[in-house]
């Protein structure tokens, strides 16, 4: 689900703003009802999808604010379709008086089109006056509403209150930067397939097409502007993949400096980006596992595009007795299921889909996987534990608990917690063991711990 702020500009000219607003409100309503935005967008007419996605992403990045304002403007909660439409419209009207952000549409145009969108949503005619009044009051009282909203936790930070408190507790020096970064669209980053060509050669191809990109990581290129993958040279032939800089760290962390690595397990591997990166870096026998058969098929599809081969299996990585052949692995990558709290820039629905109890449930699942997979590693082998989370319960605290109960595990240097929004900064509490906060480069939020099982 690429995020491009220009997507709305590419919507066909015969699509009205009212139609886009109506569908975007359906997306917001779906998220508030607990549905994944990716799933909901899949049901949007293809001719509307780029514009609707852009509007929905914008609305979700302001959802805490607009929820608070709708509650302030209305004595009773409107019907869900009307509430969601107001939230989308207010997010588009809004510009913090203290920032350089400007509304995307002229106020009178947006009010008119929001009222028209009620017809698309098949809402009663009487509702039109209510929506019109709310939006016009929002315009008149924006400064006062903004001042009031800044005193409300969810409105100020556009995350659930429990989420704000957890980030503040986990990262007291950086919590504000992390929450602010979540509202900024992430850049589109490519991973050049080193088996096909060098990064310099591919960068020259992009430059010849007028596509600006700068190098990141070992083989990455960050695009100045996102664009559909079909427009990338060599995409269908497997020249590049889309993968954030933080995710591109996994393969080199697991392989570089290791000896005798041939047999590798990629647990919880879908959609296969890290599996492919491992195979692009070395000649390996990789077993890639994912519990969901549909997601396992995505691994196969991605490998096929890249002209790479691995054994792919739909199975529960935490139940090795059902799939393991008894031969130890030289290296294991465990990209464990997590809250996805580190990739909110790309998936702004995540904070609003999660509940506080989800963290503990996922922590238990991560521990189950770690305990199940550790015996499958040969002496001298490495296990890389990764989560795309900024929560310490899913990162450093998880690994410290594992080390406390596994005397045969040691840590090697690894990034620890990487936090979005901190480009060029380094946490002064950087640890030597690689399981705490570490240098950050404005990447997605991630956690990496590299464990080694000492040779007998």
Q: Which of 138, 268, 338, 388 is catalytic?
A: 388
Residue 268 known to be catalytic: no
Q: Distance from CA of residue 280 to its chain's centroid?
A: 23
Q: Which residues are catalytic?
A: 388
């Amino acid at each position: 689900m690429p995020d491009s702020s220009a997507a709305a500009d590419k919507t066909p000219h015969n699509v009205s703003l009212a139609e886009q607003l109506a569908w975007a409100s359906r997306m917001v309503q779906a998220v508030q009802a607990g549905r994944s935005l990716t799933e909901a967008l899949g049901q949007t007419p293809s001719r509307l999808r780029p514009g609707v996605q852009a509007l929905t992403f914008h609305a979700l990045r302001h959802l805490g604010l607009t929820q608070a304002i709708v509650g302030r403007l209305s004595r009773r909660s409107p019907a869900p379709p009307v509430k969601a439409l107001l939230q989308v419209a207010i997010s588009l009207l809004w510009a913090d008086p203290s920032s350089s952000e400007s509304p995307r549409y002229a106020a009178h145009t947006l009010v008119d089109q929001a009222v028209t969108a009620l017809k698309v949503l098949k809402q009663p005619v009487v509702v039109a006056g209510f929506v019109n009044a709310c939006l016009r009051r929002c315009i008149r009282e924006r400064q006062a509403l903004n001042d009031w909203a800044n005193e409300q936790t969810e409105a100020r930070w556009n995350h659930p209150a429990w989420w704000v408190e957890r980030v503040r507790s986990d990262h007291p020096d950086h919590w504000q930067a992390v929450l602010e970064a979540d509202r900024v669209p992430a850049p589109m980053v490519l991973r050049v397939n080193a088996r096909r060509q060098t990064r310099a050669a591919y960068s020259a191809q992009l430059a010849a097409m007028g596509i600006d990109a700068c190098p990141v990581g070992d083989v990455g290129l960050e695009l100045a502007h996102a664009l559909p993958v079909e427009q990338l040279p060599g995409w269908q032939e497997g020249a590049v993949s889309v993968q954030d800089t933080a995710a591109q760290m996994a393969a080199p962390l697991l392989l570089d400096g290791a000896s005798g690595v041939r047999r590798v397990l990629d647990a919880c591997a879908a959609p296969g980006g890290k599996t492919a990166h491992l195979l692009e870096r070395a000649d390996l026998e990789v077993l890639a596992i994912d519990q969901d058969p549909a997601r396992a098929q995505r691994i196969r599809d991605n490998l096929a595009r890249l002209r790479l081969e691995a054994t792919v299996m739909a199975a529960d990585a935490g139940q090795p007795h059902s799939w393991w052949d008894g031969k130890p692995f030289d290296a294991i990558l465990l990209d464990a299921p997590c809250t996805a709290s580190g990739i909110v820039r790309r998936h702004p629905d995540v904070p609003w889909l999660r509940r506080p109890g989800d963290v503990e449930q996922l922590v238990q699942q991560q521990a189950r996987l770690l305990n199940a997979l550790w015996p499958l590693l040969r002496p001298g082998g490495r296990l890389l534990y990764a989560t795309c989370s900024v929560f310490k319960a899913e990162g450093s605290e998880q690994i410290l608990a594992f080390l406390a109960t596994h005397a045969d595990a040691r840590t090697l240097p690894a990034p620890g917690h990487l936090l979005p929004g901190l480009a060029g900064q380094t946490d002064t509490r950087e640890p030597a063991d690689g399981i705490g906060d570490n240098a950050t480069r404005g990447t997605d939020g991630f956690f990496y711990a590299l464990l080694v099982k000492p040779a007998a």
